Amino acid sequence: MPASPSPSQSPRPPAGKPYQENTEQLQTANPQWQIRVRGLNKTFGPQHVLRGLDLDLERGKINIVIGGSGQGKSVLMKHLMGLLKPDSGHIYVDGQDIVALSDVEMAKLRRKFGMVFQYAALFDSQNVVENIAFPLIERYNLSRDEIMARVRELLKRLDLEGVGGIEQKFPAELSGGQRKRVGLARALIDRPEILLYDEPTTGLDPVATKNVDEMIMQTSHDFGVTSVVISHDMASTFRIADRVSMLYDGKILVTGTAAEVLRAPDRPVREFVEMAGLTVPPPEASA
């Protein structure tokens, strides 16, 4: 009977890697890859959502994970945040395996993350300032003046300061685009290293979609964060992505730059590209 792999061992090497990766490499902070996912499996009852998923997310870049509905994109996102525990597999954030962390350790590590939810998930009972200040109030013992200074600075940087008295408005009084920006402000207030966006352009008109795309690029540039975007909006993805990974059938089917993914021969990728009406760049364009 073959010996079962020990928990410390990476269960499988990442697809397409030319060398044998060992656990020690994964457990060391890597200058290029901030998040490394290996052999992630998750089932919900009879449904096997993630099937040994491997993924590398590049530090300081815009990493977009695309895929159709029901492919497990949101499940993957919740694993990255530690909101779900996998059945097996590892998620290394700066070399630290978050799967093995206790709730208290995970709570500390979450300070590295900010998350922008699909519909912003602003707290209905709090106004814009209270929503943005929420992480600071909960995590630190700061004075009201310090908190307000941080909130005002962020509102200014995100072009939200003084927009129709937005500070005192409640989420129900905001437009879809404003909600996204306030959600982003709340995610950024504690200066995270990693920003996760869950379907940021869903339900927005083309102009608002373009604005959100610009917001993601500007945030990545200005704040130097690692952006991880879950999306099925192909046009938006190829406008802003530094790195694209396609999730299909619980695994990453293809990963690379936008141009590389556009040229990938796999059928699900081709269908996605054709349905989005995107044109494939010539080989020299990607060089």
Partner 1 sequence: MSEASTVPAPPRGLGAIGSVLGRPVRSFFGYFGDHALMLWKAMFWLFRRPFRPRLFLEQMEFIGVGSLPIILLVGFFSGAVSAQQTVRALKLFGQERFVGATVGLSLALELAPVFTALMITARAGSGMATELGSMRITEQIDALSTFAVNPIQYLVTPRIMASLVMLPVMTMVFNAIGLIGAYVYAIFVGGVDVGSFIEHFRYLTDPSDYLQGAIKAAVFGVALALAACFQGFNVRGGAKEVGLATTRAVVAGSVSVLIIDFFVGDMLGVIFPFQS
Binding site for partner 1 (CB under 8 A): 78, 81, 83, 107-108, 110-111, 113-115, 117-119, 121-124, 134-135, 138-139
Dihedral of alpha carbons 239, 242, 247, 252, sign: positive
Of 53 and 187, which CB lies nearer to partner 1 in the complex structure?
187
**Residue 138 CB, nearest approach to partner 1 (Å):** 5
CA distances from 48 to 43, 79, 84, 177 (A): 4, 15, 14, 35
Q: Assess contact for 23 and 207: CB atoms under 8 A.
A: no
Of 22 and 123, which CB lies nearer to partner 1 in the complex structure?
123
**Residue 60 CB, nearest approach to partner 1 (Å):** 21
Of 99 and 244, which CB lies nearer to partner 1 in the complex structure?
99
8-state DSSP, 113 = E
d(CA 43, CA 49): 6
Of 36 and 112, which CB lies nearer to partner 1 in the complex structure?
112
d(CA 217, CA 227): 9
d(CA 237, CA 62): 10
Other Cβ atoms closer than 10 A to 23: 16
d(CA 234, CA 229): 12
Of 49 and 258, which CB lies nearer to partner 1 in the complex structure?
49
**Residue 103 CB, nearest approach to partner 1 (Å):** 8
**Residue 114 CB, nearest approach to partner 1 (Å):** 8
- Which burial class, exposed, middle or buried, applies to 3 when counting CB atoms under 10 A from its CB (0-12, 13-18, 19+)? exposed
From start to end of 109-235, where are the E strands?
113-116, 194-198, 226-231
Q: What amino acid is encoded at 68 in this protein?
A: G
Of 89 and 135, which CB lies nearer to partner 1 in the complex structure?
135
**Residue 267 CB, nearest approach to partner 1 (Å):** 26
**Residue 9 CB, nearest approach to partner 1 (Å):** 30
